[in-house]
Structure 1
Amino acid sequence: MTIKEPLRVRQFEKFLPAASPVQYLDVEGNPADSDARYPRPTDDRLVAMYRNMVRGRRFDQQSTALTKQGRLAVYPSARGQEACQVSAAMCLRDTDWLFPTYRDSMALATRGIPAAEILGMLAGDWHCGYDPVAHRTAPQCTPLATQLLHAAGLAYAEQRRGRETVVLALCGDGATSEGDFHEALNFAAVFHAPVVFLVQNNGFAISVPLARQTVAPSLAHKGVGYGIGSEQVDGNDPVAMMGILDEAVHFAREGNGPVLVEAHTYRLDSHTNADDASRYRDSAEVEDWLARDPIARLRTYLRRENRIDDDFEAQLNAEAETQAAALRAEMNIERATDPTELFRYVFAEPTPQLREQLADVEAELAAESEEIDR
């Protein structure tokens, strides 16, 4: 073990998070004074992170447009949270597991899941759209916090099997008000499960502001009572996000138990396309957070370090546009649907109620078919 290793382990053994969110880049992308000892990512990794963030934002924008075109039933944008989601995917090995929420499509894209498969559920598929086992990524979860219990259980099971698997579970600030959140933290702590809980605190649980959810000093402090190493970080600082999540995953993989990380970020768009955020937040607040854009901050840093230039950005933007065009083409293909699949894959042995419902649907479909034939 090198001299640096004991310092790394101690980062989360202190339990208490920093007094203010850890930050390595200020809002303008310049180095910020910080006494945090988390190892900073290499510039090569930050260039890769920048690429994934730019591509992720273009995917997010295209998905929002597809909703307006009627190709998706709904889409929860994550614009402004790129640093959180990209770092969450990049800090994991291919053999690790990711447990996302409904808003974490950019994390799934960074994980390598095809874009059209990510959107399959939102386009009307009865399943999640991708193969969870093949991608080591659980289905996107709409109910708040329920996936955290699954993540803790899987992490413990992998540990019992003697594997070095780490599980990273994402959730929002609203999820910390749910009982499942606290049960998951307690289980993970008691059984020393190698799971990292990442709370993307974007300020609102739909329209409920954080001040109406908790009076704790920070959401990261919620891990202290369970004996979990906790930290809070500027979620719009890509360098800090990657550094802390790298460290958290390392800590969990080394057998030190779970970690809770709170990322302070912001949801720039409405909760979904069905929401009007102007009803509960001020435009000045949104403008303030626009000035903290994580992509702009990382771009400034990488340009100052001469790691990217105009040619690099032009090529990257062209690549992102090509991928957006391919996604449009794929999502504009009419999808074959079979309503009876809703009943066929609920249980291995269908219940009498499911058989009855299936029969009703089949009869209705047959009647419609006869009407068309006439």
Structure 2
Amino acid sequence: MGAAGDYAAVSMRAAVKQLIFGAAEEKREAAGEIARLARSDEQRKRLLPKFGVVPPLVSMLASGRAGTGARMAAAGALLELARGTHRNKVHIVKAGLLKKLPQLMDDKELSRSHQLALLLLSISSLASTDFPLSASELLPFLVATLSADDVSADTKLSCLATLRNLSTKLEHVRDVVSSGAVHSLLSLCLDKQTSEAALSILGDLAATSAVRKKAMEEDEMAPRALMQAMTWHESARCQEHATYLVMVLAHGSPALRRKMRQLGAVQALLEVSLLGSPLAQRRAAKILQWFKDEGQDRVRAHSGPRMEGTSCHGNDGEEDGGGQEVKGCRNGVDKIVKQSLDRNMKSILRRATASVDLTNVKLLVTSSSSKSLPC
């Protein structure tokens, strides 16, 4: 044991010396050795920052002169040092890692790497502590990575987890919204691999403030993305998150409900109310009730079609002429069609929700994440 400890101590000293004073290739090898030492023993992991390895590793990671291989080795060493150690994460942030993120974006291979995404994910856990982590420094990098087409799903999932860590802290939420993350998240809702994570973050954002909700309502992609997620019957969580978001966003927005109706929301919601998980079924049934109530309001406003003074057969001698009569006839037919559609909707809704208790609104607002849903 003593010999092994002595060998480790010698290895640490040699690695630190190479990292600080060595040539480019020696620095790369030193970074790999530091990663190995940090991974092999928790005590060494906590001891290495005391030798001053963190600042040179951060500088090496952001160095334009260092090759991609050396920068990747530095990222790997920092990742091993950060894992499971709050103090080491603080050391890495204080060494200026987040301030150097714009420089890292210049290297496409590095900025798209899963290793760097995991490092930032590990650092982002500081958001749940009292340490003043700057979301504004992290967000441009995250949004750029999430929006890029040439990034793997695993890397995007790590970035989504980082964004989730940031968005759980209320003081970061406004920065998350203003960074353009909402549009990127809605785009990721269209991909089955990233949809659940993206929808979960959007649900957190929508639940925090009307400002965040408004940002989603105004995004043209929102209705299509949420509709798409609701059609994935093999993913209960996606349907539950999507129906929750539709409830929150469409509850006070007739304009959004109109857009969704045009995209076929009624049919999609009927399918969810029949085939979705129990929670998704209850939410879909509630939203369908809103659509049905809107249809009834339109019929009550007219109290039935009014066709007096019009004729579908024409009166060529009338002052208004045949064009006005045809127009009046069409309006009357349109009213009849609307009535028929509303009656059919009521009948379909009754069958689709026969097993759903719509009287207990509390059931509709229950979710695993304890979000507050509109009644």
TM-score of the pair, normalised by structure 1: 0.26
TM-score of the pair, normalised by structure 2: 0.26
Higher fraction of helix = 2
Return the structure number with greater relative CO, CA threshold 8 A, min gap 6. 1
Higher fraction of strand = 1
